[in-house]
């Protein structure tokens, strides 16, 4: 066999092997699954809302620590060690997901749809602003969801309430659906806490 044919044969063999490997990986790899948090677990969102009257409420900004500001889910392996789950991701940026989830459910708890999300235009201004710093939102090594949030209510430039809230819910160490459900339960409790403190101010 001459040199030209040998090179052709080697090239063909290499390409065949490469194609086989690519197809094998494609068949064996699972598609990425995407999730959204919900803040209305067990809450009736069909209440009548007051429109075009009452104070305007501004929701946000909502801030996350850098380790949570990513699309991959974060699970604690130990007290100071975390891992990312690549095959299961948030469907949108987590701060936006939290903002949207609360924006959907808070009006029904407050009895008003006079709410806008951050950022909002200077005019019209907001009468009350709810700012949220998420300090912890993950699943610990025992399969328990924990949400720690430092949040405040401001009226104009005056802080009316500054509070730290901690919520937990039993989740799982392996079942992603249960993890997301437990985190949604914690977010629901945060929304309820905000509503209980904010609603009396709207009268």
Q: State pLDDT tens for residues 154-187.
A: 998 899 999 999 999 999 988 999 999 999 999 9
CA distance 141 to 151: 26
Report the pLDDT averaged over residues 70-86.
Answer: 84
d(CA 34, CA 41): 19
Residue in 170, 187, 188, 189 with CA at minimum distance from that of residue 179? 170
pLDDT tens track for 121-146: 877 689 999 999 999 998 888 889 99
More confident position, 6 or 69? 69
Q: 47-61, 90-104, 120-134 — which is least confidently predicted?
A: 47-61
> Which range is most confident: 1-5, 51-55, 144-148?
144-148
Closest CA to 109 of 41, 169, 165: 41
| pLDDT of 26 | 46
Please, are residues 37 and 180 in contact by the beta-carbon 8 Å criterion? yes
Range list of H helices, the chain: 3-28, 94-110, 176-198
| pLDDT computed for residue 35 by the predictor | 95
Q: What is the mean pLDDT of the chain?
A: 85
Q: Which residue has the tokens 């939102």?
A: 137
**The pLDDT value given to residue 8:** 54
Please work out, in degrees rounded to the nearest 5, the angle formed at the alpha carbon of residue 99 by the alpha carbons of 94 and 102: 125
**Peptide bond between residue 181 and the one before it cis (omega within 30 degrees of 0):** no
175 compared with 27, residue with greater pLDDT: 175
The C-alpha atoms of residue 175 and residue 173 are separated, in whole angstroms, by 6
Q: State residue 52's pLDDT score.
A: 66
Tell which wins on pLDDT, 49 or 129.
Answer: 129
Residue 24, pLDDT above cutoff 70 = no
Total Cβ atoms within 10 A of residue 50: 13
Q: 68 or 22: which carries more pLDDT confidence?
A: 68
Number of C-beta neighbours around residue 29 at 10 A = 9
What average pLDDT does this structure show over 19-26? Answer: 52
- How far apart CA 186 and CA 148 sit, in angstroms, is 9
Which of the two residues, 69 and 123, has the higher pLDDT score?
A: 69
pTM, to two decimals: 0.81
């Amino acid at each position: 066999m001459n040199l030209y044919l040998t090179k052709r044969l080697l090239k063909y063999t290499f390409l065949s092997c490469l194609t086989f490997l690519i197809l094998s990986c494609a068949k064996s790899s699972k598609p990425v699954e995407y999730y959204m948090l919900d803040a209305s677990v067990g809450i009736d969102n069909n209440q009548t809302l007051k429109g075009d009257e009452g104070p305007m409420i501004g929701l946000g900004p909502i801030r996350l620590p850098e380790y949570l500001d990513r699309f991959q889910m974060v699970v604690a392996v130990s007290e100071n060690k975390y891992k990312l789950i690549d095959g299961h991701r948030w469907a949108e940026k987590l701060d936006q997901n939290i903002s949207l989830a609360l924006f959907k459910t808070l009006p029904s708890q407050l009895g008003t749809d006079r709410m806008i999300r951050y950022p909002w235009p200077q005019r019209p201004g907001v009468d009350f602003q709810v700012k949220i710093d998420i300090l912890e939102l993950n699943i610990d090594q025992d399969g328990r969801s924990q949400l720690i949030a430092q949040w405040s209510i401001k009226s104009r430039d005056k802080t009316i309430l500054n509070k730290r809230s901690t919520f937990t819910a039993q989740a799982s160490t392996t079942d992603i659906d249960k993890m997301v459900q437990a985190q949604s339960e914690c977010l629901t409790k945060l929304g309820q806490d905000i509503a209980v403190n904010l609603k009396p101010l709207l009268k």
